[in-house]
Amino acid sequence: MSAASPTNSPLLHNRYRILSRLGEGRLATVYRAEDERLRRHVLVHLLRTELVPQENLRRRFEEEARRGAQLSHPGLLEVYDSGDVSGRPYMVTEDIAGQPLADVGLLNPGEALGVVRTVVSAVAMAQSQGVPHPPVSSRNVWLLPGGRAVLLENWTIPPSETVQDLAPYRAPERAAGGPPTPATSVYALGILAWETFVGRRPFDPQQPLGTQANQELPPISTVRPAIFSPELDRIVTQAVAPDPSLRYTTPIDFGRALDHYADASTAQTGRLATLPTGITATVPAQPTPVPAAAPAEAPQVRPKRAFRRAQQAAPAVAPPPPPPVLQAPPTSRTMSAPAPQYNQQAVDQQIKREVKRQVRRQGCQRALIKRTTQLVLVFLLLYGIYLGIGYTYDWATGRLAQINPTEWLTSRLPNPSDFVPSWLRNPGELTATYRVTRPVRLRSSPGASADTNIVKVLEAGSRVQQIGPPEADPDGQPYTWLRVIVLDDGTQGWIANLEGLLE
């Protein structure tokens, strides 16, 4: 699928009209399309042709599309649809217009903190739900009009440059060949946070992989003195620690530390007191400066003494008057309604609630497993005490002298089959088909004590099928009753399971 003109642009699944080809990412080729059903622009991500035979990448792409549709976060693209065309899976997401974080330049501290918190929370939520997410990189983080930050697979980077672009964000243990872990994600997010606040990458992307493990990352306040925050330096330094055990355990912990820092840095302070309405301030009169008399003859003195005498002879200068207080209230001006903007504070609150919900859900699951294990152990302990008491009693009464201890223990243990009904152990009995060998009465309910519940008389040779578990005779007779259906006419009822009656 390539760029096409409006007259011959292809139509995907009779719905998505392909408008233009935007580029190729790490996994997919991205097109801008129009959803002709909902009349909106979308992005179509089509797995690259050369990656279709690679089963692991194909499965990752399909999993990202399927699980991504169940995940809603402002820091990730919204997945609308997915499918398969000519053996190539595709994914339809929202259309965006923005630019990579690496091309934006220096941000003010408030904007930088909002971008970092959004990306960290997006990665934390995706990992908590097992959803694959794009790699962390300043070229994979796009800033949209209104201040929204989105983590995506950048389609403007040639696939051959992807490895070099992600090199500065690779943790030392990953560069050494270790597997990806939540701690490696924390390291990548810490490097991204440093870059977002400083405005450049901390390491040279052209240097060999793994050499950055021996380089110490300078504090943010050292590189950008305008941001002097020891607490922020501590948080980022802990996130990019070379030793994984010294970092935050998961992106959730890293995001929680950033949330605490944001709450502390944006705390409200007290306001200065103002004069009540109607009270005016008196402006003190300015003293009239007295000019100094000119000396009759300037004496010949050395420069140092002359400067001191000039200071002593200089007249006092009155301080400038304070600004006057308005006597009348300011005239009201009609303000036009501000244009709707992206509410970063509301997004932060939503992120907090979602992260707390995920943490609470995982805590409930762990607590349930813990309580279940404790109950099983308590049951086993009590049952062991019961067996011990029984063994002690039998030993005291002399019964153990005549009984094998193994047989004694086996007789005391419960038989698992006793807890499972026979019809459940052998489900085939519920649908068994029988032939009646002699005439028998089909009754509407179990029991042969009355003739009022007779439905019909089955002749010899009639075929019936069991449709339920057997029930005991209500009168205590030594046989059971079977609920059956007559295969000839569909009549249902009960017949006695007498010996030789059914075969």
CATH number for the domain whose boundaries are 1-95: 3.30.200.20
Cβ(487)–Cβ(465) below 8 Å? yes
Residue from 223, 180, 172 nearest 202 by CA? 223
* Residue 189 exposed, middle or buried by CB count within 10 Å (0-12, 13-18, 19+): buried
Q: Phi-psi bin for 314: left (phi > 0), alpha (psi -120 to 50), beta?
A: beta
Cβ(93)–Cβ(69) below 8 Å? no
Map out the domains of the chain as residue ranges.
1-95, 97-265, 356-413, 419-496
> Distance between CA atoms of 266 and 322, rounded to whole angstroms?
32
Instruction: For domain 419-496, give its CATH number from 2.40.290.10, 2.30.30.40, 1.10.357.10, 3.40.50.620.
Output: 2.30.30.40
CATH class, domain 97-265, is: mainly alpha
DSSP letter string, 40-108: EEEEEEEE-GGGTT-HHHHHHHHHHHHHHTT---TTBPPEEEEEEETTEEEEEEE----EEGGGT----
pLDDT tens digit at each of 503 positions of the chain: 444 444 567 888 889 999 999 999 888 999 999 999 999 999 999 999 899 889 888 988 988 888 888 888 999 999 999 998 888 999 999 999 899 999 888 899 999 999 999 999 999 999 998 888 899 999 999 999 888 999 998 888 888 888 888 888 999 888 888 899 999 999 999 999 999 999 988 876 555 555 565 677 889 999 999 988 899 999 999 999 989 999 999 999 999 999 999 988 876 655 544 445 554 545 445 555 544 444 444 444 444 444 444 444 444 444 455 544 444 444 444 444 454 555 677 777 888 888 888 888 888 988 999 999 999 999 989 988 888 888 787 777 776 666 666 777 777 777 666 656 555 555 555 568 888 888 888 888 887 766 777 888 888 888 888 887 888 888 878 888 888 888 888 888 888 888 888 88
> Distance between CA atoms of 201 and 141, rounded to whole angstroms?
14
Per-residue tokens: 157: 């980077």
